């Protein structure tokens, strides 16, 4: 694992330890095929009606496949008044955080 990947994993783990809400903004089909442990599935297109399910007082950690949808979701949630929103990017890199030795 590269040093940059290791820093991403450390930040990811730290945010989760601080009570971060892990949100997968992929479709339910993508989520069903594989997701990070502890993630909730709020597909990007459902955020306008489902963002109230998230706790505004806790960090929100977003991911998708490549980072495009999570970036859109981060922008949307920030505009809705969420203070701590993190775009973690793609699923594949984060899955490595949970399984790869560092």
Q: Which of 34, 33, 28 is nearest to 50 (CA)?
A: 28
User: Is 9 a residue of the active site?
Assistant: no
Domains and CATH numbers, the chain: 3-99 (3.40.250.10)
Q: What is the pTM of this model?
A: 0.85
* Catalytic, out of 61, 64, 77, 85: 64
Report which of residues 16 and 95 the model is more confident about. Answer: 16
Q: How far, in Å, CA of 43 to CA of 39, rounded?
A: 12
Once rounded to an integer, what is the mean pLDDT over residues 36-46?
Answer: 95
Residue 9, pLDDT > 50, answer yes
Quick: pLDDT tens for 53-86: 999 999 999 999 999 999 999 999 999 999 999 9
* Structure tokens given for 93: 């890199």
* Structure tokens given for 34: 């594989």
Q: Which of 44, 49, 48 is nearest to 62 (CA)?
A: 44
Mean pLDDT for all residues in the chain = 87
């Amino acid at each position: 694992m590269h040093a940059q990947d290791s820093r991403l994993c450390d930040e990811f783990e730290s945010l989760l330890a601080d009570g971060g809400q892990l949100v997968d903004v992929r479709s339910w089909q993508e989520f069903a095929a594989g997701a990070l442990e502890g993630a909730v599935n709020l597909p990007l297109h459902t955020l306008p009606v489902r963002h109230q399910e998230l706790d505004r007082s806790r960090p929100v950690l977003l991911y998708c496949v490549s980072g495009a949808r999570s970036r859109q979701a981060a922008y949307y949630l920030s505009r809705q008044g969420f203070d701590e929103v993190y775009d973690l990017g793609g699923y594949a890199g984060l899955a490595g955080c949970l399984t790869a030795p560092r």
